[in-house]
Amino acid sequence: MSSPSTSLVSSTVESIDSASPISQAGEPWLPEPEELPTTPWYEEKTSTLRLSDIPIIKEKGGTIGKFEVVIPHPDERAHRPPPGFHTFYMNQIEMGLRFSIPRFIAAFCRHISLSPSQLAPNSYSFLLALAVLLSYHELPLIPYVLMQLVQIKRLGPGKFYLSHKGDHSFIKGNPSSHKGLMSRCFFLKRDVNSLRCKC
């Protein structure tokens, strides 16, 4: 006998299988600019991370020996990383983001034209849980399938989060608060020495 959550997942799988790519029209709904705050968060917030946090970031994020991690100076802001670097947040790592970014997440971000650093931390645990369910039901981890299940919502200027589309709410337990997201940023780039051929 199947549990209610299993039957909900199964019915969602069936709806994806029967959906036509042609019927997927339009862009995700985003609020109008006048509905958003007037001062972007990234012009006000400075990182609260310290140099002593770098080993923790490297260990939890899987960056040891592959990426260079830099903590912003007090006058640096998240929206202006040094050349070659990208901005990420400790909260994203705590919610499941690892480096190198999983291919299905990178493909999804390309599809929705967002940088992985623009997704709120909860988006990573949501996508990873969804990946487990889709893999269990032998559905491909491709943008088309993901777009049948999620919608992109604006959190603020330059920040977005993912939520369930329609009544597909079978992933639960994700924290809903994004508080503190902006205050723990760091800059990251691939270490060029890790790219060299070891011949």
Please, what is the end-to-end C-alpha distance for the chain in angstroms? 56
CA–CA dist 123, 94 (Å, integer): 11
Instruction: Give pLDDT tens digits for 115-126.
Output: 888 888 888 888
Per domain, the residue ranges of the chain are 44-169+181-192
Mean pLDDT of the chain: 76
- Residue pair 70/187 in contact (Cβ under 8 Å)? The answer is yes
**Higher pLDDT, residue 65 or 105:** 105
**Higher pLDDT, residue 48 or 168:** 48
**Sheet of strand 67-70: strand arrangement:** 67-70, 185-190, 86-89
Q: What is the largest CA-CA distance in the chain?
A: 59
- Residue pair 154/36 in contact (Cβ under 8 Å)? The answer is yes
pLDDT of residue 75: 86
Split at pLDDT 50, 70, 90, the class of 69 is: very high
**Higher pLDDT, residue 51 or 197:** 51
Average pLDDT over residues 173-198: 68
